[in-house]
Amino acid sequence: MTMEGFRVLDEKSLREYIKATPSLASKLGNEVDNFKIKEVGDGNLNFVYIVISPSGSIVIKQAIPYVRCIGESWPMTKERSYFEATALKRQHEPPHIILRKGLIAGVEYPLLAEHMAEFMANTLFYTSLLYLTTTQHKSAVAEFCGNVELCRLTEQVVFSDPYKISEFNRWTSPYLDTDAEAVRNDKILKLEVAELKSKFCEKTQALIHGDLHTGSVMVTHESTQVIDPEFAFYGPMGFDIGAFIGNLFLAYFSQDGHVEQGNDRKTYKTWIMDTIADTWNLFYKKFTSLWDIHKEGPGEAYLHEIYNDLELRELVKQKYMMDLFHDSLGFAAAKMIRRIVGVAHVEDFESISDLVKRSDCERRALEFAKNLMKKRRNFNTIADVIAVAK
């Protein structure tokens, strides 16, 4: 297919592309006839190919000029790959195995919470005004402000479409028909999601991944790596934290649909909840530790000359972290809702073939998410949130 000189790669054209690109062909030993090519992309936007030869292997990702899961009726800029490449240079994170598939299979990853807390604490702290000067921060914001189309996509599919009639919305019908309608008719929910959308659009707090769900994390038992930062821009920290935690909650609510004879998944559900708790608690510890280490550094959010009193610093820190916690809960809820009654769903639920079981799991997740969004300010600890989810 050609679109203004652009074509979507397939196995034949990809082979020709590699052959014509010496830097790629050389990594595969120039053995063009011996390549094995497999398309493995499970996202909504791009194609991802693994290319293997006897001499080596590479991964090639193609950003196509429209939303893959919709088609050409929803155009997208190919230049989004620039922001992904730029963010990857800052994060240095190579891929492993998709976390979402491991969660569906019931695999425990003992270091997941530790690694994700470390990643988010470092990425968010060191790109915020807690560490940067205002001049550095404004320059960094400007570098990513051109990623408009993917921000607009998020604004539409996360904060708008699920709350109105949209041609792109879908859900497990007819079982969730009344549930989807209830979302569209919930006035309090709409007030809350409007506030979250405003924060997403206006709050240039730190460099965020922008799409940090469990399909953007690749793991082994010893290692955790973050991929696909093509949505990266300067936005609210809680959007990344909430996206990851919200998707863990989706995995939790899906588990009853994956019950097998001899495995009721109860132990695994406990592990997921422990991982959610550990992720936030470790993030809090690591993030505030970085703040303490750099309290006299160049960051201009809270100048040391003004906030050099220990009691005052603790009050500032407590308020900042509680606001961030509530933001994270709100964004977690928004991400959950959109995955149930919006355009792009998750394999956690979609892989449950029994539609009655699937809809039961989705309904419990949806009710929890609605409650979480509307009452997020009533929660003071992640343990309180988990107690409600259970």
Domain boundaries, the chain: 2-71, 81-389
Tell me which residue of 94, 18, 20, 85 sits closest to 52, measured CA to CA.
18
The pLDDT > 90 percentage for the chain reads 74
Distance from C-alpha of 61 to C-alpha of 9, rounded to nearest angstrom: 10
190: exposed, middle or buried (Cβ count in 10 Å: 0-12, 13-18, 19+): middle
The predicted model gives 153-159 an average pLDDT of 97
pLDDT for 39:
77
In this prediction, residue 1 has a pLDDT band, given cuts at 50, 70 and 90, of very low
In this prediction, residue 92 has a pLDDT band, given cuts at 50, 70 and 90, of very low
pLDDT for 78:
66
pLDDT in tens, 312-349: 999 999 999 999 999 999 999 999 999 999 999 999 99
Q: Three-state SS for 98?
A: strand
Distance from C-alpha of 308 to C-alpha of 331, rounded to nearest angstrom: 33
Candidate CATH numbers 3.20.20.70, 2.40.50.100, 3.90.1200.10, 3.40.50.150; the one for domain 81-389: 3.90.1200.10
- Predicted confidence (pLDDT) at residue 45 exceeds the cutoff of 50: yes
pLDDT for 280:
98
Alpha-carbon 184 to chain mean position: 24
Distance from C-alpha of 140 to C-alpha of 127, rounded to nearest angstrom: 8
The predicted model gives 107-119 an average pLDDT of 97
Identify which has the larger pLDDT, 64 or 237: 237
In this prediction, residue 37 has a pLDDT band, given cuts at 50, 70 and 90, of confident
Q: Three-state SS for 66?
A: strand
21-25, 179-183, 369-373: range with lowest mean pLDDT: 21-25
Report residue 345 as tokens. 């769903």
How many Cα atoms within 13 Å fall on the side-chain side of residue 214? 27
Helices 382-389, 355-375: axis angle to 10 degrees equals 150
The pLDDT > 70 percentage for the chain reads 89
Strands 97-98 and 217-219: antiparallel
- Predicted confidence (pLDDT) at residue 388 exceeds the cutoff of 90: yes
Distance from C-alpha of 112 to C-alpha of 354, rounded to nearest angstrom: 30
Handedness of CA 101, 105, 106, 110 (dihedral sign): negative
- The DSSP string of 224-282 is EEE--GGG-EEE-HHHHHHHHHHHHHHHHHHGGGG-BTTB-SHHHHHHHHHHHHHHHHH
Average pLDDT of the chain is 90
- Predicted confidence (pLDDT) at residue 141 exceeds the cutoff of 60: yes
Identify which has the larger pLDDT, 51 or 304: 304
73-82, 107-116, 197-206, 369-378: range with lowest mean pLDDT: 73-82
User: Is residue 268 within 8 Å of 255, Cβ to Cβ?
Assistant: yes
**58: which strand partners?**
51
- Predicted confidence (pLDDT) at residue 231 exceeds the cutoff of 70: yes
pLDDT for 4:
59
The predicted model gives 247-271 an average pLDDT of 95
In this prediction, residue 54 has a pLDDT band, given cuts at 50, 70 and 90, of low
Identify which has the larger pLDDT, 33 or 166: 166
In this prediction, residue 380 has a pLDDT band, given cuts at 50, 70 and 90, of very high
pLDDT in tens, 347-371: 999 999 999 999 999 999 999 999 9
Identify which has the larger pLDDT, 366 or 74: 366
In this prediction, residue 12 has a pLDDT band, given cuts at 50, 70 and 90, of confident
In this prediction, residue 384 has a pLDDT band, given cuts at 50, 70 and 90, of very high
Distance from C-alpha of 231 to C-alpha of 211, rounded to nearest angstrom: 6
**What does the longest C-alpha to C-alpha distance in the chain come to?**
69
In this prediction, residue 2 has a pLDDT band, given cuts at 50, 70 and 90, of very low
Q: Give me the helices (H) in 145-204, please.
A: 148-159, 177-185, 187-202
